[in-house]
């Protein structure tokens, strides 16, 4: 059960690269900007430019390519499926292959390649965000970016606080899960063998005590927070101040250039 | 200690209501005065009402009957709950369930953020508080990587950063190992002596009471005994009748003198050892 001890929170890789040191707000916005760019691109050249740009960012994050690609594991299946569907379903142009009613046509291949590149780039780019930004910074950045929404009644401060508290308690609850598993195993519950149904039923013996204790923790935490003068987001100051620097300015400058280039190159 | 009362309980009663709507009395007609600068230890059984006492002191609970006065305010009749909570800090039993921040310094900042301290000043206060509890080297650590004693010291730093006048420990050492317990007791004793913070230590370890200015013994929602540790623990029989433990040294002294060994009343293990050695040498 050492797996639980080393459970990675998010997939953040600490570092001091240019990308790491960008303001989290800048990085969050950049993911949006990049998504727009990816959807603007519609031919080989514009995709190539964006791919090159992503490669540059990967290089700039000084995280190994292999590690970054490993983080994309869950996306591979989706990519393959999208590719296959587009190849088979989109019609038009020269017919390359025909097998009964299944045909592979030129337009289909083109679409399949473009759409999967699009998806891959988006997945890669957003994983770069979580790889280079600590969850705490992300929560802070989100709170600040979404702050205007609090005027229309969105509980932005509460959501951000929930996020940070959840992050704070993940290791605590993992430790606890570990303890419960050992305690139940020592009482004879077998988690390792048996059919799926039996194993699922045995999980109840972990989940129930875990929930009970989580609720107790929540209650005590709420009391402790109140005792320390917590009364919602109003009038609250923050220790962590986010500051835009020349780095962020440079990053936004590059974004503008990219917009111009893609707008010019695309068909 | 001859100074103005900082916290005053006047005829305070408190009830919890159970699931059948029955009132369960927790505190009955309680009177208690805490003076500025005092170090008071409150001992008693589970359910004797000692934790309720703590929560009444910083307006987490309000008295059902009677009055609790904290500084210039009455807790039941004031809008200044936040000022009361800034003035009276509370450290709870479970270190894991009172740390909010993802790092030590974020947690110390939490209370300061709540009371709206400007960020620049916050920095100074956090550094000073962490230094005072000996946790300055751990500012960037994640709380789950700390020992129990370190977690409680972090919690105490979070409170003294708010510059309270009273620090209440609500069984804050109950979940710690002996080493952690010693660390915390030494720390609060120093805060009391050097920073002049009034300390109220609620505990069920009688050993923690021997160095207090005053011991308050709670039993069934009432104050059963109170006085200097020497006076309170002198009455070993009465304490033990109620099932309360007394410090080991006191117990041994009591048994020995009851069995004809001439040892004067004492409190500390060290005194006991010295007395026994003296007896042994003068045999």
CB burial of residue B249 (10 Å; 0-12, 13-18, 19+): buried
Which of B97, B112, B172 has the highest number of chain A CBs within 10 A, making it the mutation to test binding with A? B97
The region, left, alpha or beta by phi > 0 then psi within -120 to 50, assigned to residue A191 is alpha
Task: Specify if A150 maps to a domain.
Answer: no
- Report, as an integer, the average pLDDT of A171-181: 89
Q: Which of A218-222, B36-40, B266-270 has the lowest mean pLDDT?
A: B266-270
Q: Nearest by CB to B102, which of A136, A216, A235?
A: A136
Q: B92 to chain A, minimum CA–CA distance in Å?
A: 7
Query: Whole-number mean pLDDT of chain A?
Result: 87
Residues A221, A196, single domain; the answer is yes
Residues A165, A123, single domain; the answer is no
Domain holding A167, by residue range, is 155-236
Backbone angles phi, psi at B219, to 5 degrees: -150, 125
For residue A5, name the pLDDT band (cuts at 50, 70, 90): very low
ipTM, 2 decimals? 0.87
Residue B197: both structure tokens together: 């913070």
Residues A71, A28, single domain; the answer is yes
Residues A25, A98, single domain; the answer is yes
pLDDT tens for B49-94 read: 888 999 999 999 999 999 999 988 898 887 888 889 999 999 999 9
Q: How many folded domains does chain A comprise?
A: 2
Residues A167, A249, single domain; the answer is no
Q: What is the pTM of this model?
A: 0.81
Residue B125: both structure tokens together: 């206060």
Residues A9, A112, single domain; the answer is yes
Q: Between vectors from CA A111 to CA A107 and to CA A117, what angle results, nearest 5°?
A: 150
User: Considering only alpha carbons, which residue of chain A is nearest residue B145?
Assistant: A171
- Asked if B96's CB is within 8 angstroms of A228's CB, the reply is no
- Report, as an integer, the average pLDDT of B117-125: 93
Q: Which of A140-144, A183-187, B46-50, B198-202 has the lowest mean pLDDT?
A: B46-50
- pLDDT over 90 at A107, yes or no: no
Task: For B88-115, give the DSSP string.
Answer: EEEE-S-GGGT--SSSHHHHHHHHHHHT
Residues A76, A121, single domain; the answer is yes
Residues A118, A193, single domain; the answer is no
Residue B30: both structure tokens together: 């309680």
pLDDT value, residue A10: 56
Task: Quote the CA–CA distance of B165 and B3 in Å, as a whole number.
Answer: 13
Evaluate whether B144 touches A178 at the Cβ level (below 8 Å): no
Residues A128, A206, single domain; the answer is no
Residues A9, A110, single domain; the answer is yes
pLDDT value, residue B114: 92
- Which of A133-137, A200-204, B35-39 tops mean pLDDT? B35-39
User: Considering only alpha carbons, which residue of chain A is nearest residue B143?
Assistant: A168
Residues A102, A1, single domain; the answer is yes
Residues A175, A108, single domain; the answer is no
Which of A4, A8, A224 has the highest number of chain B CBs within 10 A, making it the mutation to test binding with B? A224
Residue B78: both structure tokens together: 């004031």
């Amino acid at each position: 059960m050492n797996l639980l001890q080393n459970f990675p929170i998010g997939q953040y890789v600490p570092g001091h690269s240019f990308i790491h040191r960008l303001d989290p707000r800048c990085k969050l916005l950049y993911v949006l900007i990049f998504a727009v760019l990816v959807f603007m691109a519609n031919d080989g050249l514009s995709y190539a430019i964006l791919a090159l740009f992503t490669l540059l960012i990967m290089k700039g994050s000084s995280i190994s390519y292999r590690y970054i690609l490993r983080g994309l594991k869950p996306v591979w299946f989706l990519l393959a499926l999208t590719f296959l569907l587009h190849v088979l379903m989109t019609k038009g142009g020269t017919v390359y292959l025909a097998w009964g009613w299944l045909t592979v046509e030129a337009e289909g291949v083109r679409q399949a390649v473009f759409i999967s590149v699009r998806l891959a780039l988006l997945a890669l780019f957003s994983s770069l965000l979580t790889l280079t930004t600590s969850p705490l910074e992300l929560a802070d950045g989100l709170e600040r970016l979404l702050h205007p929404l609090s005027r229309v009644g969105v509980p932005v401060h509460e959501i951000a606080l929930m996020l940070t508290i959840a992050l704070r308690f993940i290791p605590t609850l993992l430790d606890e899960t570990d303890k419960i598993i050992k305690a139940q195993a020592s009482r004879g519950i077998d988690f390792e063998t048996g059919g799926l149904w039996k194993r699922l039923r045995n999980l109840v013996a972990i989940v129930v005590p875990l929930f009970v204790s989580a609720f107790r923790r929540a209650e005590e935490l709420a009391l402790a927070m109140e005792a320390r003068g917590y009364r919602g987001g109003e009038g609250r100051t923050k220790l962590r101040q986010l500051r835009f620097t020349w780095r962020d300015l440079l990053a936004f400058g590059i974004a503008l250039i990219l917009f111009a280039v893609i707008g010019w190159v695309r068909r | 200690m001859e100074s103005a009362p900082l916290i005053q309980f006047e005829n305070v009663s408190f009830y919890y209501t159970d699931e059948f709507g029955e009132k369960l009395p927790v505190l009955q007609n309680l009177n208690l005065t805490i003076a500025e600068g005092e170090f008071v230890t409150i001992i008693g059984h589970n359910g004797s009402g000692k934790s309720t006492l703590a929560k009444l002191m910083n307006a987490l609970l309000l008295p059902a009957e009677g009055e609790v006065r904290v500084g210039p305010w009455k807790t039941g009749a004031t809008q200044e709950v936040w000022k009361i909570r800034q003035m009276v800090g509370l450290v709870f039993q479970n270190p894991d369930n009172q740390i909010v921040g993802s790092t030590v310094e974020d947690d110390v900042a939490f209370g300061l953020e709540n009371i709206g301290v400007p960020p620049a000043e916050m920095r100074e206060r956090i550094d000073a508080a962490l230094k005072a509890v000996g946790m300055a080297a751990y500012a960037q650590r994640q709380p789950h990587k700390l020992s129990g004693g370190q977690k409680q010291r972090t919690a105490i730093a979070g409170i003294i950063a708010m510059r309270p006048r009273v620090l209440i420990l609500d069984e804050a050492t109950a979940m710690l190992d002996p080493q952690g317990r010693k660390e915390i007791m030494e720390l609060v004793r120093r805060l009391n002596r050097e920073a002049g913070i009034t300390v109220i230590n609620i505990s069920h370890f009688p050993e923690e009471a021997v160095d207090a200015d005053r011991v308050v013994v709670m039993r069934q929602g009432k104050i059963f005994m109170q006085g200097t540790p020497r006076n309170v623990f002198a009455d070993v029989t009465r304490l033990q009748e109620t099932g309360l433990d007394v410090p080991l040294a006191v117990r041994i002294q009591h048994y020995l003198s009851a069995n004809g060994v001439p040892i004067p009343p004492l409190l500390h293990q060290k005194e006991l050892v010295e007395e026994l050695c003296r007896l042994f040498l003068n045999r």
